[in-house]
Every structure is written in structure tokens, then in C-alpha cells.
A and B are shown apart, each in its own frame.
Chain A
Amino acid sequence: MKILVCISHVPDTTSKINFTDGDTKLDTNGVQFVINPNDEFGLTRAMWFKEKQGASVDVINVGGPETEPTLRKALAIGADSAIRVNTPATDGFAVAKQLANVVKDGGYDLVIAGRESIDYNGAMVPGMLAELIGANFVTNCISLEVDGTNAKAVREIDGGKETVSTSLPLVIGGQKGLVEESDLRIPNMRGIMQARQKPLNVVEPVEATKETTTVKFEKPEPKGAVKMVSPDNLDELVSLLHNEAKVI
């Protein structure tokens, strides 16, 4: 089985988000970039397929050279090789189009992406990719088993979960549950050394027109100060929630 794991290069959750150039660009100053958490659960599940079922695992990112350390980290975790499509990620559709081209050429059976990235939160790339290549698609996926060309997946739904049967080729929008937090791997020294020798292929983009354009960013209004209520005066809290916040 040939697996491709899509790796988004995103600011760490604890990063302060600021913008430059008249609020049109993310200020990357002092921002730590990481593998998108939803993708990391998928990558770890892919490692399981590699170790237990002999799958090969490549990782891919669409972006400039600045994303390569994130791909190297995925190699250090255990992926066999990496692909970087050398073009800025402009919008979800353009990224899906680039991925579709690589998936078709590479003959991948299973593509695992995160349900969404934690920067743009679009939740659209995996579905668009599946539709572009004519593969089956399951998102919010919290469990995945593959047997030959058949797959069983569990999707988290509002208020519960749903078990589905499907087949390869398949695109997954993964999240926590594919593996547990405690299964995530921190690259060890051996992995990091090996990662330096593994191939990281830069491929040139195909033509893809973006469908949406970011005009500008805006930060939310600063929040007002918290109102403290004494634990001995919970009537006041009930009254505030009713009269002031109007939520009960």
C-alpha cells in the first residue's frame, strides 16, 4: 500500500498571531511552526500501517522552502520520503489541485490529511482532493483499518459516531482518535540523523487557479475584564447571566 500523508506547516497553537503589511500577511517573527496537529495523528497512524502492514509512507507539503524543516520532522518521525510542491499555498482549492496532481502521478492508494489545519481552519483540502481524483472520502475520521483494498473507518458525527465501509483509493480527513495523544512520536536522534539522508523532492507546481483571495486579516476586539463573583453570592451570578449576559 502506498500512503501519502499531507503535512500542513502551521504556527504552533501557543504562538501570538500578528499581521504585517497593512494586515495582509502573517507576521512570522518569533512564530514557531509545527506539523499541523490533525496531520500528526494521521502521520502516526501511517507509521502503524508501515510497521504492521508494510506500507510505504511519503509526506507532502505545498509551500515555499521555509516549510522544509516541518517535512524533515515528518521524515524523522519515520516517513520514507518527502515531496514539496514549490508554490505558496494560496487557497484550499489551489492546494488540493497541486496535491491531486502528485497523487495521480504517484499512484497512491491512501491519502491521509488532517480534518483541518489550525491556521486557516478551512476543512476543505481533503474533500476537494478526493473529488478531484475520484477517490472515496471520509472526514473527521477517528479510526481506520485497511485490509487489501477494503477499508473500515469511523467518523465522528454530531453527538456520536458512525462506522463506514469503503475501499481504496481513499482520502481521509484525520483527527485525534486515529491514534491517541500518547501514541504520538517525538523524533529521536537516530530518526533525526536518518531524516537528513532521506529524499526531499521539490516538484514544480501545475497550473491551478485559486478561487478565493485573502484581502486582509483582522484581530478580534480585546475582551473586557472578567467580572468576579463571590462563591457566597451565586444569586448575583444567576442575575448577571439573566439580566446582563441574557444567556439564561
Chain B
Amino acid sequence: MSVLVYTESEEGKFKKVAFEVASYAKAVADQMGTTVTAITINADDVSELGTYGVDKVLKVKDSKLDAFNAKIYADIIKQSAEKEGTKVVVVSSSADSKYLAPLLAVGLDAGYASNVVEAPTSASPFTVKRTAFTNKAFIFSTIDTDIKIVGVSKNAFGLKENSASAATEDFSPSIPENGVHVDSVDKATNTVTIADAEIVVSAGRGLKGPENWGMIEDLAEVLGAATACSKPVSDLGWRPHGEHVGQTGKPVAANLYIAIGISGAIQHLAGINASKVKVVINTDPEAPFFKAADYGVVGDAFEVVPKLTEKLKEFKAQNA
């Protein structure tokens, strides 16, 4: 009966979303009067999950599972759900979890709601609040099946500590055949990804050319932020496609989003609206982005950005 949560890891270490979904699973378990079981695949040290309310960990270790595979991972989560007699499965909104969740839903005959932003507003009927219309609205929807899958929006629920000591059980599921094989993975190392970042520094055509991105990278570095860009910038080839954020690019749900030299087209706003605090730096006081911003600076990026980086360095030095 326990709530099952898939806690993702990478190279043996939990992703931050793992703790957020664990926190969410604990809230659901409390509503339903049950416990939380986490399923981990090739995570090394799982003890930290207890801090976020996990009672039991099903620990899967198998070198055949080193590369993520949606079909196989979905099947393993399904086997864990069946073993635990789970009625609610909680997953994150990472690219991988969004890939596997629909497969899992069909496998378990479970209804699935993605982009959920709060603990269920009611346990019976099981009702969740999710974003829709690219963050222009919310939908309250019920999940009507016996087993339910909840995909939690990044940064919406947050981390909630709930000290429990998680009992660990080694689990050896069967690994099914599948028809999608990973040939190669091309991933930047040592940089913060847009998906994981608390802070995202994003720049647009106002920067005038790719040679001017040094100051954006400097600002990002001092904040420990990921860098991103607007669509025209990626279309012009100034920055790689993977940095394009907006409706047709990557979604951003950061704590702080700093937009520099981006006018704020509605397609851009749609992709970044889930961010909590937005700072806009633009020379044009009429830029539509200011209407969507929390803080605004009207000024030339070439002056404001280096100055802001210096101020932040001073701040970091004082608060280190």
C-alpha cells in the first residue's frame, strides 16, 4: 500500500529532484496514512533519502542499467509497484522521468497527471493541481484509476525534511528486452544544467554577437548558475540549441531567472514563467518582459552586467 517514489540518480549520486519527489511522496503518504518506499537504480549511498521521509528503499544495482532506458526503467518501477502493492507512484519532471512515466502508466493501468504543483488537494477523489496552457493556467483534475501516477513539477513543492531512517532492501528485478539502444551520450561536464540549476542567467539578441557571452558566463559563474539563451540567439547559431529556453526550447523552473537583452516575446515567457523570481535587464524601458518581471533594470547590458557581477562577488565574499 505504501507510496512508491522513483528517486533518480546519476553516476551513483541522487539528483536534487530525487529529494523533492521524496518530500512530495511523504506528504501523500501522510494524507493516506501509509509509508513511503523509494526505488533507486544504481544509486550508491541511499541513506540520505531517510531525511526526506522515506521509510524503505528498494535498491537496484546492475551494471546493465548504467545507461538510462525508459522502457527498462519503467518496467523496473512497475515491478517495484507490484511488489509493494502501491496505489500511488510519484515521479519527477526530469527529461528521463517524463519519458518513462507514460510507459509506466500503460503498464500499471494507472492514470497519470504530470506537472503537478501541490500536494493532492484531496485524497478521495484523488485530486491534483497541475499547470496547463504553458503556465497560463492551472487545472484541477482527478485521477480516477485504482493506481495513480503523479509527476511533480520541478521546484514547485520544495524539499521538506522529515527524519526517518530508511530500511534498505536489495531488489533484483527482471530486465526486459527492449528495442532502443543508446549509442552515445554527449553531455557537458562540470557545468550546471538548466534542468538542475537554481539560478539561470539568460541572454538574447541585445548582446549583439556570440563574442560578448563572456560577461554572461562570468555572471553565471559567480551565481553558480546555468546559462541559457533566447530563440533568435540559438537560431542565429550564437549559442548551442540546448541552451534555448522558451516554448519550443527547454522549460525553466528556477528560483531566479535573470534575462539580459531579451525583449520577452510571449513564446519566451511561456517557457520561463514557472521560475519564481525574474530579473530583467534591458535598454528598452518598453520591453514587454518588464511586465512579467519582479525586478527590472533599464540600462545597457554591457555596463550593467559586469558591474552586477562585481557587486555579487563582493556580496559573496562578505557572506561566504
When the two chains form their complex, are residues B134 and A118 in contact, meaning their CB atoms are under 8 A apart?
Answer: yes
Question: Quick check: which of A73-81, A104-112, A155-163 contacts chain B, the rest being far away?
Answer: A155-163
When the two chains form their complex, are residues A211 and B179 in contact, meaning their CB atoms are under 8 A apart?
Answer: no
When the two chains form their complex, are residues B196 and A158 in contact, meaning their CB atoms are under 8 A apart?
Answer: yes
**Closest Cβ–Cβ distance, residue A111 to chain B (whole Å):** 14
Partner of B112, one of A92, A219, A220, A223: A92
Check A191 for interface membership: any CB of B closer than 8 A.
no
* A162, B96: Cα distance in complex, Å: 12
Across the two chains, which residue of chain B brings its CB closest to A228?
B296
When the two chains form their complex, are residues B133 and A127 in contact, meaning their CB atoms are under 8 A apart?
Answer: no
When the two chains form their complex, are residues A17 and B133 in contact, meaning their CB atoms are under 8 A apart?
Answer: yes
Check A47 for interface membership: any CB of B closer than 8 A.
no
Check B292 for interface membership: any CB of A closer than 8 A.
yes
When the two chains form their complex, are residues A160 and B248 in contact, meaning their CB atoms are under 8 A apart?
Answer: no
Check B242 for interface membership: any CB of A closer than 8 A.
yes
**Closest Cβ–Cβ distance, residue B159 to chain A (whole Å):** 15
When the two chains form their complex, are residues B256 and A248 in contact, meaning their CB atoms are under 8 A apart?
Answer: yes
Set of chain B residues within 8 Å of A163, measured between Cβ atoms: 182-186
**Closest Cβ–Cβ distance, residue A125 to chain B (whole Å):** 8
Can you give 7 contacting A-B residue pairs, CB < 8 Å?
A: A120-B132, A158-B94, A163-B182, A166-B179, A166-B181, A215-B141, A230-B297
Set of chain B residues within 8 Å of A125, measured between Cβ atoms: 102
- One digit per residue, 1 when the CB lies within 8 angstroms of any chain B CB and 0 when it does not, for chain A 217-245 equals 11110011011111100110110111001
Check B137 for interface membership: any CB of A closer than 8 A.
yes
**Closest Cβ–Cβ distance, residue A159 to chain B (whole Å):** 3
Which residues in window 111-132 of B have CB below 8 A to A? 111-115, 127, 129, 131-132
* A217, B133: Cα distance in complex, Å: 10
**Closest Cβ–Cβ distance, residue B103 to chain A (whole Å):** 5
When the two chains form their complex, are residues A128 and B102 in contact, meaning their CB atoms are under 8 A apart?
Answer: yes
Check B71 for interface membership: any CB of A closer than 8 A.
yes
Question: Quick check: which of A51-59, A63-71, A129-137, A200-208 contacts chain B, the rest being far away?
Answer: A129-137
Across the two chains, which residue of chain A brings its CB closest to B110?
A211
When the two chains form their complex, are residues B303 and A162 in contact, meaning their CB atoms are under 8 A apart?
Answer: no
Set of chain A residues within 8 Å of B290, measured between Cβ atoms: 226, 228
Across the two chains, which residue of chain A brings its CB closest to B17?
A158
Check B209 for interface membership: any CB of A closer than 8 A.
no
**Closest Cβ–Cβ distance, residue A174 to chain B (whole Å):** 11
Check A175 for interface membership: any CB of B closer than 8 A.
yes
* A125, B138: Cα distance in complex, Å: 19
* A240, B188: Cα distance in complex, Å: 33
Of all A-B residue pairs in the complex, the 10 with the closest CB atoms, nearest first, are: A127-B102, A231-B299, A211-B111, A160-B187, A159-B193, A158-B195, A131-B106, A247-B256, A124-B102, A136-B179
Question: Quick check: which of B26-34, B37-45, B54-62, B308-316 contacts chain A, the rest being far away?
Answer: B308-316
Categorize the interface residue count of chain B: 35 or more
* A113, B99: Cα distance in complex, Å: 14
* A204, B136: Cα distance in complex, Å: 33
Check A145 for interface membership: any CB of B closer than 8 A.
no
When the two chains form their complex, are residues B115 and A212 in contact, meaning their CB atoms are under 8 A apart?
Answer: no
Across the two chains, which residue of chain B brings its CB closest to A138?
B180
* A92, B110: Cα distance in complex, Å: 12
Check A210 for interface membership: any CB of B closer than 8 A.
yes
When the two chains form their complex, are residues B179 and A124 in contact, meaning their CB atoms are under 8 A apart?
Answer: no
* A139, B68: Cα distance in complex, Å: 13
Set of chain A residues within 8 Å of B295, measured between Cβ atoms: 226-229, 237, 240-241, 245
Across the two chains, which residue of chain B brings its CB closest to A124?
B102
**Closest Cβ–Cβ distance, residue A230 to chain B (whole Å):** 8
Which residues in window 127-175 of B have CB below 8 A to A? 127, 129, 131-145
**Closest Cβ–Cβ distance, residue A225 to chain B (whole Å):** 9
Check A38 for interface membership: any CB of B closer than 8 A.
yes
Check B304 for interface membership: any CB of A closer than 8 A.
yes
Set of chain B residues within 8 Å of A127, measured between Cβ atoms: 70, 99-103, 105-106
Set of chain B residues within 8 Å of A213, measured between Cβ atoms: 141-142, 144
Check A122 for interface membership: any CB of B closer than 8 A.
yes
Set of chain A residues within 8 Å of B82, measured between Cβ atoms: none
Across the two chains, which residue of chain A brings its CB closest to B134?
A118
Set of chain A residues within 8 Å of B249, measured between Cβ atoms: 176
When the two chains form their complex, are residues A157 and B187 in contact, meaning their CB atoms are under 8 A apart?
Answer: yes
When the two chains form their complex, are residues A212 and B143 in contact, meaning their CB atoms are under 8 A apart?
Answer: yes
